[in-house]
A and B are shown apart, each in its own frame.
Chain A
Amino acid sequence: MLKLATLETESTDTGGFGSEYSSAANEQDPDFYWPPSSIPNAFSAAANEQDLVFRWSFSTFPYFAELDALNATPIEPHVLTQVKLRRALDRWVEQTQYESSLGVIKSHPSYAEVIDLGRTALVELLERLSAGDARVQWFPALKALAHTDPVPPHLRGKIRDMATAWVDWGRQQGLV
């Protein structure tokens, strides 16, 4: 333990800031030493398992160097875009799952986020369709991203068939 204000003596105490640590009476104060007795010392005996975990968390928490190194690791822009896109798609589906109105679905903020990501979003949606993840939300976004609609009129509303038409179009364009 570190004894605070050890250099202070009664003769040099001027009553200013920190002067309270200079008196011998304050040595009885539990906060006189650091760490104070209210925080368990890792070297003292643990009372129980919870106490042990509590001390372990104190002893391992300040890995700031590692955290700084992690934060300083450069992340490729396309990886960030992918993360942003997938979060937007997941949020969009989750928050519009009870909506039938395509107007409401398209007015969700995630729709604009997805459209902003352009070709990356187009490829991701086509890959999801190719993997069997066909959702109502995807189709207006695909039409806006691709500036075309490969779904023949007689298949409108038939989600599986629409997915197949889009995947075929994506293969023809070399996107999937």
Chain B
Amino acid sequence: MSQDLTGTAIASNAVATTRQICCELRIAWGRTHDTWPTDWATQATNETARLRDVSWDRRFNLATDLSLGQAPVAQMRLTLDNRDQRFSPFNSAGPLYSSLSADATTAGGSTVRYSKMWQTPVRLRMGFVDSIAGAQYLTMFTGLIDQPGETYGLGGDTVTLNVLDRGAALLDDKSSTRIDQNILPHEYLAKLLITYAGINTSGMDYGLAPIPFAWLDDEALWKEIQDVAGADSGYAFFDELGAFVFKAATWWATAPHSTASQATFTTARFQNLAPETKHADIATGAIIEYQPRSHGGEQIIWRASSTIVLPPGTTTIQAKFSYPVTLILDPLQPMDWLPISGGGIDVSGQIELTFENKQAQRCDLRFVNNSNVTAYVPNMRLRGLVLVGGPQEQITIDVDTPLVPTKQHRVYNNPYMQTWQQANIAAELAAHRMRYPRLTYRITGPALPWLQLGDMVTIDAAAPVTADRTAIVTGLAFSWQPDQPWLMTVDAVDYAGLFEHAGNYHIVGTDNYGAKVAFV
């Protein structure tokens, strides 16, 4: 994706003999993820002068098959000068006091002062001072404070802020939904993000295979988002600007920034270069499990565990279904429910029942007892049209010419992997991606701030193993202290062998029929 450098001299200043670093740290005190700033210049405070140390990193999980879809939340660590206790939430004389903490009153009348720094938006921009244009920035990190820490004493009064990217807001967000059918991954991701996190999305890749049935039942959103992307053999993450990114399985095979080098590392451009061959990750094939689902007809979806007691007035209970449900059928009397008095008299004429908060695996039953006596509903049940899971299926793909004794990689437990198509794409990718001993690189040196995950870089060093190689960036780590060099560590995976027919895939609308080959 390589950040846009149009109109800047960042690329040349980044490799200049003398680099003058510029930095801007803004924190939107008093705001949260739910009140995300739309204008950082006016809605956030410039705290750059207080910055003592900063480092951040973002990366994909490099284990085994490059763990399709697994992109841990990126982190940034800030150390700020706090000698005047500006960032101390309990410093009532501090200028940020009302933004850093607040009062609450307990039921018993006690006052509790609490820190409210959690999920405060943070943005870091860095760049270089150009001799003509002045300071030119790129956004390096946008996220939310996860964990603040204060230190006082001989070491100096500082506050450290551990900041996570915007995925942090979704880590523990448990949501439930109805069932979406035959929905494309990017459509479902967009729906989850706007509905449950208020995050708009645009520019996402299209997925290759629709998900037949998708729903949530108290699931953590970020985990689900990773699984949705993984089911399409793609990746989902938040980028440096705080924008949500979904990249499909074709990403590194065809995207311009993944097929054309975005930076070249020569001996003059790095401090250390450490190639490593990961023999442990080599495999002769892949086993991908998937769980087909289909409509399962009418079933009893819920039975009350005990007699429902309905005093006069409104009573609401939650029904958790035995199956995912596409339609709750109207309960029939007396088979499904029969309100009676304690003496067994039918009082159904006095009881209203409505369904509220209907989700795939739960709903609220709201009873209104319009009489002045308590009613009872024994052995109540609900019927509905349900989804059922078929037997677990799997696809096994072995490479034609294995390089080691049989060793198959297995992917399982992704609830969104429901079809042969999804599994076949994952199996083809994983099997071929893991058939060769994987060559990876760790490069340390001066920061090239435009690099992003998925970018192709060229490594052209003197040693034979590192001469004229191309690789895909899978991890980026930066660190800086004022008046110190701005350093970077790049993790990259060698491009050779990632795709069997790299450079020869047929692009719709670009290539002719009869030319080039099909992707997985």
Q: Do A and B bind each other?
A: no
User: Which residues of A come within 8 Å of B, CB atoms?
Assistant: none
User: Which residues of B come within 8 Å of A, CB atoms?
Assistant: none
